[in-house]
Amino acid sequence: MSNFKSDLPAKTGGGLVLLRRLHFYIGLFIAPFIFIAALTGTLYVLTPQLENLLFKDALTATVTGQAQPLSAQIDAARKYAGRELSISALRPAPEPGETTRVQFASEHLGASESRAVFVDPYSLAIKGDMTVYGTSGILPLRMWLDQLHRGLLLGEPGRIYSELAASWLWVAALGGVVLWWAGRSGRKASGVRRARRWHTTLGLTLVLGLLFFSATGLTWSKWAGDNINTLRTALNWLTPQVNTRLDGSLPAAPADPHAEHHMMAHHAGHWPGMPMPTPLSVNVADSDWDRVLQAARAAGISAGKIELRQPKAADKAWTVTEIDHRWPVQVDAVSVHPRTFAVIDHIYFADFPLAAKLTRWGVDAHMGGLFGLANQLLLAFLGVGLCSLIVLGYRLWWLRRPAAASGNPLATLCGAWLTMNGPQKTLALVIAVLLGIALPVMGISLLLLIVVDCWRWWRR
């Protein structure tokens, strides 16, 4: 949103000089990570239809008469996969002509992954067998893109890159707006002026979307995300979760709205700080799934897309959860007693606190599922626009590179900070420290930028 190299006169003050230099460094060193995140995220939101086409055989069924009971569908899946395997979740066919997913747990799969066997509800034929990921149940293509977007396929260490991008994106966006406002009357050489105009116009067009990307991306991050969860806990902004304790003695644990996009170290249904549940030694009877579904439907679980999970321990209940994240969002849930099949607890999205609703909507919008194709196209526009903005920024820097060779000490962050008056220096330090604590990856990377900056100036 502004050219990389400072061209503000000294009278504009050290604050703007510091901000322009920081904007330059974000563009030069952090922008490649932002570019990768934007590109891979765009590919992710544009591929649901492609994935459905690639795996059409597994996802579709031939409608012939009435669908078989869930017990028969589960029995067919168990015959195919092995009766010794434990079912982690069941997703009945959402619509006629679609298959049922019977998801099996496996120690050979990663966190949030399960082996899904796709069953034709009518003929009981096995239509597919593949690994699916998260509560959204994405298939192998988008699972690969998701892991590429989140961590460059490097696992937990790779998450540093995406957190780095999300931490600095909002600073670049807001800083660019401030610099545009402060320097909108400046005059440039014709080539630079045209390049800057394109960079500025596109940046101002995208700024709200960039802030949205940064805010929602940070909630998924590892270190900043933990701090955000701590804040949400302190402010009682947690997402309600249905209570599965049969004795009702414990309050419901907070749900993770990012589970479908989260490579968590714990399995679904477990929350940090809680003991891992002891799994049942055997699967429940096949017929129980039908009875649980009937109880949930009678209690108001009406969405086509639902997920059933059997009790995780002898003192726990079944859970039946709506998983339709399109608008209007359907994420109601109930817990069902494993012996009496009575509903013992329920949560309704309509009763969620406003903060929890905003979190749910933000997560779904970030993933491109809230408003369907319109959501996908908007995110694609923002993603492609952000990539173009970065390319234009590098072109602007390239056009101005002779001036960037200056050894002026004001061309360093420390040098710009020294031009500020006492209160400004103190405010800048306080803001930097607070942001470094709240966003640790930003804090560490800022220190590295300062070290590199001072080293380059010292060499000159």
DSSP 23-81: HHHIIIIIHHHHHHHHHHHHHHHT-HHHHHHHTHHHHB----SSPPPHHHHHHHHHHHH
One-letter amino acid identity for 85?
L
If you ran DSSP here, which 8-state letter would residue 269 be given?
T
Determine the residue type at 228.
I
pLDDT band of residue 29 (cuts 50, 70, 90) is very high
Supply the DSSP string of 365-426, one letter for each residue.
Answer: HHTT-SSTHHHHHHHHHHHHHHHHHHHHHHHHHHHTHHHHT---GGGSHHHHHHTS-HHHHH
Taking only the tens place, the pLDDT of each residue in 344-353 is 999 999 999 9
* Lowest-pLDDT range of 34-38, 225-229, 449-453: 449-453
- pLDDT computed for residue 248 by the predictor: 65
Burial of residue 261 (number of CB atoms within 10 Å: 0-12, 13-18, 19+):
buried
Find the mean pLDDT for residues 424-453. 94
Mean pLDDT of 147-169: 95
Q: Give strand pairing partners of 307.
A: 321
Rounded mean pLDDT of 108-115? 88
* % of residues, the chain, pLDDT over 90: 69
Mean pLDDT of 180-203: 79
12: number of CA atoms within 13 Å, CB side?
19
CA neighbours closer than 13 Å in the CB half-sphere of residue 429: 10
Cis peptide before 328 (omega within 30 of 0): yes
Higher-confidence residue of 84 and 458: namely: 84
Q: pLDDT digit string (tens) for 230-243?
A: 998 888 888 899 99
pLDDT tens readout for residues 281-308: 457 889 999 999 999 999 999 999 999 9
pLDDT at 435: 96
Give the pLDDT confidence score for residue 254 in this predicted structure.
52
Q: What is the pLDDT of residue 258?
A: 55
How many Å apart are CA 36 and CA 48, to the nearest integer? 20
Q: Mean pLDDT across the stretch 367-384?
A: 96
pLDDT of residue 280: 45
- As a 3-state breakdown, the chain gives helix, strand, coil percent values, each rounded to 5, of 55, 10, 35
**For residues 5 and 27, is the Cβ–Cβ distance under 8 A?**
no
pLDDT for position 257: 56
Comparison of pLDDT for 73 and 280, the residue scoring more: 73
The amino acid sitting at 153 is L
Q: What is the pLDDT of residue 185?
A: 58
pLDDT digits (tens, 9 = 90+) for 394-409: 999 988 875 555 555 4
Which two three-digit tokens encode residue 84?
A: 């010794």
| Percent of the chain with pLDDT strictly greater than 70 | 85
